Amino acid sequence: MMFWYDHNVSGWGWFAMSAGMILFWAVIITIAVLLLRALNQPHEHTHTAAAPSAEDILRERLARGEIDEDEYRRRLAALHVGPVAKP
């Protein structure tokens, strides 16, 4: 049988093999850790934002200038009193 480079591996060959094996396992472990972290994180995009309250909507309308301050106070007071009972 004919071997291209003989069986003897020089010192650099052993070093390259050792460094390559360490690098290979470091990459495998890094990928595993990152994958586990990604799978165990709570998904932020699944949470829906809470609907704005009636008071928030009133504040926004006041800020945009759709209602004046008197209208804002009147409607806010009506919200705090509650629904008006019909006779």
What pLDDT is stored for residue 4 in this prediction? 58
Instruction: Output the six-digit token pair for 26.
Output: 């470091």
Tens of pLDDT, residue by residue over 4-46, are 556 666 777 788 889 999 999 999 999 999 999 988 887 666 5
Q: How many Cβ atoms are within 10 Å of 62's Cβ, its own excluded?
A: 17
Mean pLDDT score across all residues of the chain: 83
What pLDDT is stored for residue 5 in this prediction? 57
> What is the 8-class DSSP label of residue 3?
-
Query: Is it the case that residue 60 has pLDDT exceeding 90?
Result: yes
What pLDDT is stored for residue 41 in this prediction? 82
> What is the 8-class DSSP label of residue 83?
P
3-state helix, strand, coil in the chain (%, to 5): 65, 0, 35
Query: Is it the case that residue 66 has pLDDT exceeding 50?
Result: yes
Contact residues for 75 (Cβ-Cβ < 8 A; gap 6+): 58, 67
Give the predicted TM-score (pTM) of the model: 0.41
Query: Is it the case that residue 1 has pLDDT exceeding 80?
Result: no
